[in-house]
Amino acid sequence: MTRTAIVTGAARGIGAAVAQRLAADGHAVGVIDLDEAACADTVAAIADAGGRALAVGADVADSAAVAGAVSRVADELGAPTILVNNAGIIRDNLLFKMTEDDWDAVLSVHLRGAFLMSREVQKHQVEAGWGRIVNLSSTSALGNRGQANYAAAKAGMQGFTKTLAIELGRYGVTANAIAPGFIVTDMTRATAARIGVEFEQFVEFNAKEIPVGRPGHPGDIAAAAAFFCSAEAGFVSGQVLYVAGGPRA
Ligand code: NAP
């Protein structure tokens, strides 16, 4: 059955791959990112493959922008019943050097963003009596040097997910989290740049530690998201799936 999905942070990286995969699975997709123009490539890729997508610019941490974005998607593509909370940022630093702004920015995009988006979209899901929410966590939720803010946010995403599963299950809505390990995107490219290592070297170094012997790619995460969003995953809720090439990265 065709549904309307929303993917946040879908201009590039994992979000773009998830948006394209959900469109390939037959869903219309609201492609949300900070800058509407930056969503053009994802929307064009979906249209070229015969799918339907709409670019919407919104900051997921801004409640008025979130309300406007969700209502635009509902008006132009139909009531959204699938939500993938993927938008994210990193502001890495060791604790003693981490500023309050870096703490607040990371917690705000990941946690406040997922909260605001989910609160808005669940109205449509409850009305439809069906829904899927997928939240992006990370292996960093288990702790990662230089990422106190990000690890706290990604661990928070797991508690948030389990609570949504408990509250929304009776309305036919499931909520699950994906915790990726090392995925080749601009985010990991930025980490390599920050520590002054060539990206190729950084990828090779990380891949050595991964049991399957390769880095992850956005499509690996899109495949997991597609399962959680499928009709047949209706009895899977409140779970955290580590997609990391091993038990943890
Ligand atoms: P990415 O390439 O940096 O893409 C993130 C996207 O989110 C960007 O397009 C960014 O827009 C957008 N975004 C940032 N703040 C936003 C906001 N306030 N409102 C709306 N959109 C916003 O990152 P990625 O690697 O694909 O990561 C996607 C998700 O997976 C994130 O939640 C990340 O934490 C998680 N994850 C990634 C990895 C990895 O190895 N890459 C591992 C574990 C978890 P701008 O470009 O305008 O900033």
Residue 193 and residue 161 share a domain: no
Is residue 248 pLDDT above 90, yes or no?
Answer: no
CA 130 – ligand 1 centroid, Å? 27
Q: Show the tokens assigned to 40.
A: 């053009």
Residue 186 and residue 148 share a domain: no
pLDDT, average across residues 14-21: 98
Residue 191 and residue 130 share a domain: no
Residue 196 and residue 177 share a domain: no
Domain extent, residue 236, equals: 3-181+217-243
Which atom of ligand 1 lies at the shortest distance from residue 180's CA?
43
pLDDT of residue 249: 52
Cα separation, 235 vs 47, in Å, equals 32
Residue 186 and residue 120 share a domain: no
Q: How far is CA 186 from the centre of its chain?
A: 14
Which atom of ligand 1 lies at the shortest distance from residue 110's CA?
32
Q: Is residue 23 a part of any domain in this protein?
A: yes
Residue linked to tokens 């702790």: 143
Residue 168 and residue 59 share a domain: yes
User: pLDDT over 90 for what percent of the chain?
Assistant: 98
Cα separation, 249 vs 143, in Å, equals 11
Q: Show the tokens assigned to 131.
A: 């829904």
Q: 1: pLDDT confidence band, cut at 50, 70 and 90?
A: confident
Q: Is residue 248 a part of any domain in this protein?
A: no
Mutational pocket test of ligand 1: of 7, 18, 60, 86, the residue with most ligand atoms within 8 Å of the beta carbon: 86
Q: Please count the structural domains in the chain.
A: 2
> What is the tens place of the pLDDT at every residue in 163-217?
999 999 999 999 999 999 999 999 999 999 989 999 999 999 999 999 999 999 9
Q: Show the tokens assigned to 222.
A: 């899109």
Q: Are 22 and 82 in contact (CB under 8 A)?
A: yes
Residue linked to tokens 């959900």: 22
> What is the tens place of the pLDDT at every residue in 141-160?
999 999 999 999 999 999 99
Q: 17: pLDDT confidence band, cut at 50, 70 and 90?
A: very high
What are the CA-CA distances from residue 68 to residues 30, 111, 118, 247 (Å)?
12, 19, 14, 39
Which atom of ligand 1 lies at the shortest distance from residue 154's CA?
34
> What is the tens place of the pLDDT at every residue in 23-66?
999 999 999 999 999 999 999 999 999 999 999 999 999 999 99
Cα separation, 206 vs 228, in Å, equals 27
CA 88 – ligand 1 centroid, Å? 4
Cα separation, 237 vs 233, in Å, equals 8
Residue 107 and residue 222 share a domain: yes
Which residues have a catalytic role annotated?
150
Q: Show the tokens assigned to 216.
A: 């992850």
Residue 86 and residue 10 share a domain: yes
CA 89 – ligand 1 centroid, Å? 5
Is residue 115 pLDDT above 80, yes or no?
Answer: yes
Q: Are 61 and 119 in contact (CB under 8 A)?
A: no
Residue with CA nearest ligand 1 atom 7: 9
Residue 204 and residue 125 share a domain: no
Residue 232 and residue 142 share a domain: yes
pLDDT, average across residues 114-131: 98
Residue with CA nearest ligand 1 atom 29: 86
Mutational pocket test of ligand 1: of 34, 102, 243, the residue with most ligand atoms within 8 Å of the beta carbon: 34
Question: According to the 3-state scheme, what is the secondary structure of 5-37?
Answer: EEEECCCCHHHHHHHHHHHHCCCEEEEEECCHH
Predicted TM-score (pTM) of this structure: 0.98
- Ordered strands of the 53-57 beta sheet: 53-57, 28-33, 4-8, 80-85, 131-136, 173-180, 240-243
Residue 14 and residue 93 share a domain: yes
User: Residue 79 is part of a domain; what is its CATH number?
Assistant: 3.40.50.720
Residue 172 and residue 192 share a domain: no
Q: Are 130 and 5 in contact (CB under 8 A)?
A: no
Length of the chain: 249
pLDDT, average across residues 130-140: 98
Mean residue pLDDT across the chain: 97
CA 90 – ligand 1 centroid, Å? 8
Is residue 21 pLDDT above 60, yes or no?
Answer: yes
Residues with CB under 6 A from ligand 1: 8-9, 11-15, 33-35, 38, 59-61, 86-89, 109, 113, 136, 138, 180, 182-183, 185-188
